[in-house]
Amino acid sequence: MTAETFSTLLGRIRSRQAHVGVIGLGYVGLPLAVEFAHAGFTVTGFDVDERKAAQINAGKSYIPDVSESDLAACVRARKLEATTDMSRLGAMDAIDICVPTPLRKTKDPDLSYVVLAVEAVAATLKRGQLIILESTTYPGTTEEVVQPMLEAKGLSADVDFLLAFSPERVDPGNQQFTTRNIPKIVGGVGGASTAAAAELYGATVDHVVPVSSTRVAEMVKLLENTFRAVNIGLVNEIALMCNKMDIDVWEVIDAAKTKPFGFMPFYPGPGLGGHCIPIDPFYLSWKARQNGFECRFIELAGHINSAMPAYVVERIADALNAARKPINGSRVHLLGVAYKRDVGDMRESPALDVLELLAKRGATLSYSDPYVSELRHDGHTMTSIDVADALAQRPDCTVICTDHTTFDYEALVASGTLIVDTRNALKGRDAPTIFRL
């Protein structure tokens, strides 16, 4: 890239004249688009879902972490708009790709959304554009998949256009750490790409951390989430062990975390959920296998975590057995089906596995979740019911799968129903009707 072209792009970023495009307007893309708009950039959001585009243009937020007032203000100021017209990507100075990267049923990476997004960018790619991939993926994706697709028409990365990877690190529902104050990792295919991406993010986030390459940046995200997955696997195994030894694992963790060094508390649960932690270790182990390395430690943690829904069902069986009831024919009510507290995200939620396993054993199922009004299960649509109404129908067992803060746990205990608490939501409460993980 000529010094003049590079200088022009940096000048447009610094003066906030750069037009920024964000592809994928979900939990990652929409908050990022709003932050770019807040920083003074003109932002166009791109998505294949016409409903999302229409809601954004009407100032309506469908992401809990994006307040409707903030979104509406950006739209009114004409700093943010949304479209499904990918041909407009050619008018952007910088493009951020924030599309999903799920797993196939074979646990292999599914880059189909990334490929479609890059194809759309390549169709209108011009000299001087900055392209950044944020979608979580395996090390090498930017150089091995994205770069060749963009260079196919004759332009060269870090020479004619700029290309970088910057992993998304959002934590849905976290009010303390948001898009703005989570440090941003940036790695480009060359020095110019890294510098331009760092300049763009530096205008919108509090701290940018440049690294030496796209591969390093890609690996950072996988390390972060694999670290969590492995440690959760460890504490889940400790929970299984403690149950066999009649020890309260929650008391053990509370005592252990008083050590001021050398220990970080992780907590057991019904299984892993969300868009990253259950998936990222598989991206890493898949890529490692391509290089002749077997991730035995990581994959073992995955096996332990994926077995937790079955363990939850066994605890439900224990609770019902104490009341001389079988799972078959019993009415089991789930409190919370989202993957984590106080969000409506159902991706990879362990509650879905618990529902499926209970259904196979003949349970009659219902659920309450203020953030998930309905869900598809076993070919049928289930609708959330009010907790008080559910308890009034006296279910045989109530299972706390997601510990939403809006639930009235005192009323739950007072109802006398059998309770299986997978989240320690009833900490400090003791009753013969309470069964913990």
pLDDT in tens, 121-178: 999 999 999 999 999 999 999 999 999 999 998 999 999 999 999 999 888 777 888 8
Give the separation between CA 385 and CA 48, rounded to whole angstroms.
Answer: 32
The one-letter code for the residue type at 133 is: L
Asked if 288 and 359 sit in the same domain, the reply is: no
Taking a C-beta distance cutoff of 8 angstroms, is the pair 234, 210 a contact?
A: no
Number of domains comprising the chain: 3
Same domain as 160, residue 38 = yes
- Of 284, 306, 291, 400, the C-alpha closest to 350 is 306
DSSP state of 346: -
Residues 12 and 110 reside in one and the same domain:
yes
- 384-435 pLDDT, tens digit per residue, is 999 999 999 999 999 999 999 999 999 999 999 999 999 999 998 988 999 9
How far is residue 345's CA from residue 173's CA, in Å, rounded to a whole number?
10
Q: How far apart are CA 234 and CA 162, in angstroms?
A: 41
Please state, as a whole number, how many other Cβ atoms lie within 10 Å of the Cβ of residue 239.
23
CB-based contact 272:229 (threshold 8 Å): yes
In SS3 terms, 365-431 reads as EEEECCCCCEEEECCEEEECCCHHHHHHCCCCEEEECCCCCCCCHHHHHHCCCEEEECCCCCCCCCC
For residue 423, give the nearest of 297, 260, 294, 235 by alpha carbon.
235
235 and 202 fall within a common domain: no
Which has the closest alpha carbon to 18: 41, 49, 48? Answer: 41
Give the tens place of pLDDT for each residue, 196-230: 999 999 999 999 999 999 999 999 999 999 999 99
Residue whose pair of structure tokens reads 């509406």 in the numeric block: 72
Question: Which domain, by its residues, includes 330?
Answer: 307-436
Same domain for 47 and 195, yes or no, is yes
178 and 158 share one domain: yes
What single letter denotes the amino acid at residue 195? A
Same structural domain, 232 and 311: no
Based on the fold, state whether residues 374 and 294 are members of the same structural domain.
Answer: no
Q: pLDDT digits over 290-338, tens only?
A: 889 988 899 899 899 999 999 999 999 999 999 999 999 999 999 999 9
To the query of whether residue 242 is one of the catalytic residues in this protein, the response is no
Q: Which of 98, 276, 295, 397 is catalytic?
A: 276
Same-domain status, 10 and 104: yes
Q: Tell me the one-letter amino acid at 113.
A: Y
Assigned token pair, 385: 């019911």
Model pLDDT, residue 395 = 97
Phi and psi angles of residue 379, each rounded to the nearest 5 degrees, phi first: 80, 0
Q: Are residues 289 and 321 in the same domain?
A: no
Phi/psi of residue 20, each to 5°? -105, 130
CB 97 within 8 A of CB 166: no
Does 56 lie in the same domain as 24?
yes
Residue 42: its H or E element: strand 42-46
Residues 127 and 187 in one domain: yes
pLDDT at 309: 97
CA distances from 40 to 31, 61, 79, 133, 200 (A): 15, 20, 7, 22, 12
